[in-house]
Amino acid sequence: MKFSRYTVFENLTETVESGVNLILGSNGSGKTTLLRIIAGLQKQTSGECRIIRDGESMDNIGYETIFLCSPDMELYSELTVQENMKLLAGLMRCNLTSFADWRLEKLQKKLYGHLSSGYKQRVKLMMAFLKTFPILLLDEPEQHLDKQGISFVTECIEERSDNGLLTIVATNNPWRNWRVAVNL
């Protein structure tokens, strides 16, 4: 993958299967770019990224299949936490989960733009786990979270793994004993 003349990564071949897979790498190594390519938000300079489901290659990934939660993505700052979540639950066609699970019950009526970085991250993670996407891509999910937050998001990721779903986590440091799929 290249940006102008700068090569972010090359000769990358990896197959990931259900469960939790880590993409490890330092700052600027291309973790976010790789996740964006998998999510279909960005085109790679060369090569291909294929998603195979039940033995069949998926050329057109539907909106129900894959979701990315990244620090580069934001919610609507002029809407409250509740308004944002209601909108997203409607678009994802799923029910709204409890705000208390993410310790957000007291902040429901607050504007998203007025939240601290930690709470914004909680809202974004709540959004990522609103619906059970077959493929979930998490870019540095531990960012800005306290110990309780990290432990809760770890539980959520492991629950997905137990249900045979694919989660790809991009991070700076090895996390738990999860499989390192790519080391950039």
Given the rule CB under 8 A, which residues bind other proteins? 36, 39, 41, 63, 66-68, 70, 72-79, 83, 87-88, 90-92
Give least dist CB 67 to other proteins, A.
Answer: 6
Cα(95)–Cα(90) distance, integer angstroms: 8
Name, in order, each residue with C-beta under 8 angstroms of 30's C-beta and a sequence gap of 6 or more.
Answer: 1, 8, 9, 184
- Contact 137/68 with Cβ under 8 angstroms? yes
Residue 76 Cβ vs other proteins, minimum distance, rounded to whole Å: 6
- Give phi and psi for 57, each to the nearest 5: -70, 135
- Residue with smaller CB distance to other proteins, 83 or 101: 83
Task: Give the residue with the Cβ less far from other proteins, 64 or 146.
Answer: 64
CB-wise, 70 or 171, nearer to other proteins? 70
Could you give the CA distance from residue 176 to residue 167 in angstroms, rounded to a whole number?
Answer: 14
**Dist. CA 154–CA 165, nearest whole Å:** 14
* Closest distance of CB 158 from other proteins, Å: 23
- Taking the complex as a whole, how short is the minimal distance between the CB of residue 148 and other proteins, in angstroms? 26
Of residues 26, 132, 138, 28, the one with CA closest to residue 89:
132
- Indicate the residue among 47 and 90 with the shorter CB distance to other proteins: 90
